[in-house]
Amino acid sequence: MTESLILGPLFRRWSRRLALSNDDKTAVAGLGWSRKQFQRDAYLAREGEPTSVCTLLLDGLAYRQKILSDGSRQIISFHIAGEFLDLQNCLLEVADHNVQALTRCNIAVVPKELLLEVMNDRPNVRRAIWLDALIDASVFREWVVNVGRRDAKQRIAHLLCELALRLKAAGLGDGPMFDFPLTQEHIADATGLTAVHTNRTLQALRKAGLISLNSSKLSILDWDALAEAGDFSERYLHHSV
């Protein structure tokens, strides 16, 4: 049962939303996952490559991104331990975006056919995985709104609210304080801003007493004010289904 230990973060996350039987967990754990480690900034997947596996993040942070023809980068989502990085690989033949390690990452990969098999056989596993994919999509939608219709301060506040809530739900973080290894360039690429303007906006958020952010530590000093500043509502995270 060393396997089910490895998948702990996944099962813990799933159990927040639905009840999987021990048989379900054993079936998933027995799929023949292989572990890998990636260094900071390493690519876990590249746009245009044929898909063969699905990837579960065990430890660290990762993000999805696309590189534009002029070389600029748009980050599409961040991912924390216990989340899948590429569920779409199950059914899509070619990757449509890149996945990159934000910190050193431990991941577990499984051939997509095996994952599809267990989903075929086990309705509860199927439901858990599809729920993940649908919530991913909900987050993408909110990000469209964030970069499309909010100004710099709102965008960054919103992003910080999202990450804080997700980290908290995953049991990472210590009260209002979180390990926060994103650089200002990551924040900029996630919000469609430049690093320079991100810097100035973060200073404004600090000055307003909403957050403290340095040395890779984020503290939410005034949650209500930050949520207000970011026009943030947690519905889209579907933390309660």
* The amino acid at 65: Q
Q: Does 120 bind a copy of itself (CB under 8 A)?
A: yes
Q: Does 231 bind a copy of itself (CB under 8 A)?
A: yes
What is the x/- site pattern for a copy of itself, positions 129-148, by CB under 8 A?
-xx-xxxxxx-xxxxxx-xx
Is beta strand 98-101 parallel, antiparallel or unpaired with respect to 62-67?
A: antiparallel
The answer to whether 95 and 48 have CB atoms below 8 angstroms apart is yes
The C-alpha angle 31, 33, 34, rounded to 5 degrees, equals: 155
Instruction: Work out the burial of residue 63: count CB atoms within 10 Å of its CB; fewer than 13 is exposed, 13-18 middle, 19 or more buried.
Output: buried
Interacting partner of 169 out of a copy of itself, DNA, none (Cβ under 5 to 8 A depending on kind):
none
Rounded distance between C-alpha atoms, residue 236 and residue 135, angstroms = 8
Q: Does 15 bind DNA (CB under 7 A)?
A: no
Quote the least distance from Cβ 43 to DNA, whole Å.
16
Interacting partner of 199 out of a copy of itself, DNA, none (Cβ under 5 to 8 A depending on kind):
DNA
Which listed residue (93, 175, 207, 224) binds a copy of itself by CB under 8 A? 93
End-to-end CA separation in angstroms for the chain: 29
Quote the least distance from Cβ 59 to a copy of itself, whole Å.
24
The answer to whether 182 and 41 have CB atoms below 8 angstroms apart is no
* Residue whose C-alpha is closest to residue 112's, from 138, 72, 84, 144: 84
Which listed residue (81, 193, 218, 220) binds DNA by CB under 7 A? 193
Is beta strand 53-59 parallel, antiparallel or unpaired with respect to 73-79?
A: unpaired
* The amino acid at 33: W
Which listed residue (22, 39, 69, 215) binds a copy of itself by CB under 8 A? 69
Which listed residue (12, 16, 46, 149) binds a copy of itself by CB under 8 A? 149
Q: Does 216 bind DNA (CB under 7 A)?
A: yes
- CB closer to a copy of itself out of 34 and 134: 134
Quote the least distance from Cβ 186 to a copy of itself, whole Å.
13
Interacting partner of 34 out of DNA, a copy of itself, none (Cβ under 5 to 8 A depending on kind):
none
Three-state secondary-structure class, residue 198: helix
Structure tokens at 68: 């534009």
Rounded distance between C-alpha atoms, residue 201 and residue 205, angstroms = 6
The answer to whether 29 and 3 have CB atoms below 8 angstroms apart is yes
Which spans of this chain sit near a copy of itself (rule: CB under 8 A)?
47-48, 64, 66, 68-70, 72-74, 76, 87-88, 90-94, 96-97, 120, 123, 127, 130-131, 133-138, 140-145, 147-150, 191-192, 231, 235-236, 238, 240-241
Which spans of this chain sit near DNA (rule: CB under 7 A)?
151-153, 183-185, 192-197, 199-203, 214-216
